[in-house]
């Protein structure tokens, strides 16, 4: 095995290129990035931008490549200040991690009660340390950061194997204090989708967190997947993704199924999430079919977020004090969970 720490410098060179797995240092929009891959799948991560996964590429059996992550064409990547507003200037797309809250809120308990939690949490707006390990048979990218206002260590490991059209993402969070630590976690992969694609959910009952213009109800409204009922009694069938002209945006929560599949019939390609049993409690769906962009200055986006979560409803304070749906790490302890992503 070969191990190397990756320094935050802009380079464009191959670190390790055995016949099976490959790890590269490269530049992404002027930021140092690390690409880990094999003959079937590649992931590109930018450690200085919150270890955001900016590309997730799959090559199918026919040799066609499919970029699964959406990239915002209207925003230029830049280094954020800690606590900067996320959606206005830093909604770059890709995949980032939200912890210990998704919504901006005040911490609800312990010695940190009342402390401000930034929008989308603390992880996306600070640099992470990165280390790569690779051999012919397998490779992994380990990224680590620490809380700013809250005392924790957050680690994510992306692992691939030779010629395997899948990858695993493992998480470990350490509570560094003598107090219990409450949290919400949500991965936030923004997928590049198009009309005619489909999402196999495995559950029917969902709860609305937000819908643009209140079209599908407000916080707590119930909806049955895949046909959503609007407040004007219009029914939207989402068994296939609708055209951009649908002009809808809705955020739904559901209890986590065992797996979820996103299918693109245009190139006969499919992405499937499998969750570690009992660790992932909820699933969040952001379904944006030409309905929202966060500002009138930009055209409305067409994208989908399929977000595995621990806890629910974005706001940690509400999750702890009202919904009772949140994670907890005991004093001087840790919590670990895992996601598997496969392609075909």
Contact present, 181 and 115 (Cβ < 8 Å) = no
Q: What is the DSSP string of 210-255?
A: EEGGGTT--TT-EEETTEEE-TTS-EEE-SSPPPGGG-EEEEEEEE
3-state secondary structure of 103: coil
Q: How confident is the model at residue 18 (pLDDT cuts 50, 70, 90)?
A: very low
Contact present, 184 and 319 (Cβ < 8 Å) = yes
pLDDT tens track for 103-141? 999 999 999 999 999 999 999 999 999 999 999 899 999
Alpha-carbon span 56 to 53, nearest angstrom = 7
3-state secondary structure of 89: helix
**23, two tokens:** 């790890």
Contact present, 252 and 304 (Cβ < 8 Å) = no
pLDDT tens track for 2-11? 443 333 333 4
Please state whether the predicted TM-score (pTM) of the whole model is above 0.85: yes
The full set of domains in the chain, from first to last, is: 2-343 (2.70.98.10)
Alpha-carbon span 4 to 48, nearest angstrom = 17
Asked if pLDDT for residue 293 goes beyond 80, the answer is yes
Contact present, 224 and 237 (Cβ < 8 Å) = no
Asked if pLDDT for residue 47 goes beyond 80, the answer is yes
3-state secondary structure of 105: strand
């Amino acid at each position: 095995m070969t191990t190397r720490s990756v320094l935050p410098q802009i380079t464009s060179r191959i670190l390790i290129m055995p016949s099976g797995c490959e790890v590269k240092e490269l530049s992404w929009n002027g930021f140092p990035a690390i690409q880990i891959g094999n003959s079937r799948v590649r992931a590109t991560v930018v450690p200085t931008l919150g270890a955001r996964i900016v590309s997730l590429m799959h090559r199918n059996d026919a040799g066609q490549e499919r970029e699964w992550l959406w990239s915002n064409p209207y925003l230029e990547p830049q280094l954020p200040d800690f606590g900067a507003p996320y959606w206005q200037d830093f909604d770059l797309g890709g995949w980032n991690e939200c912890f210990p809250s998704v919504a901006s809120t005040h911490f609800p308990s312990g010695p940190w009660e009342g402390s401000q939690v930034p929008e989308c949490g603390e992880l996306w707006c600070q640099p992470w340390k990165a280390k790569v390990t690779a051999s012919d048979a397998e490779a992994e990218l380990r990224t680590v950061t620490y809380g700013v206002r809250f005392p924790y260590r957050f680690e994510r490991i992306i692992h691939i194997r030779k010629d395997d059209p899948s990858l695993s993402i493992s998480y470990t969070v350490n509570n560094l204090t003598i107090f219990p630590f409450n949290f919400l976690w949500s991965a936030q992969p923004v997928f590049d989708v198009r009309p005619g694609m489909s999402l196999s959910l495995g559950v029917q009952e969902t709860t609305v967190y937000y819908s643009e213009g209140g079209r599908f109800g407000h916080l707590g409204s119930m909806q049955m997947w895949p046909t959503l009922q609007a407040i004007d009694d219009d029914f939207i069938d989402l068994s296939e993704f609708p055209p951009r002209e649908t002009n809808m945006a809705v955020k739904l929560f559901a209890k986590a199924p065992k797996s979820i599949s996103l299918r693109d019939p245009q190139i006969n390609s499919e992405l499937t999430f499998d969750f570690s049993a009992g660790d992932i409690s909820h699933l969040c769906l952001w379904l944006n079919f030409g309905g929202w962009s966060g500002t009138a200055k930009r055209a409305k986006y067409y994208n989908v977020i399929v977000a595995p979560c621990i806890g629910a409803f974005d706001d940690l304070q509400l999750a702890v004090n009202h919904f009772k749906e949140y994670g907890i790490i005991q004093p001087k302890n840790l919590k670990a969970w895992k996601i598997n992503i496969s392609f075909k």
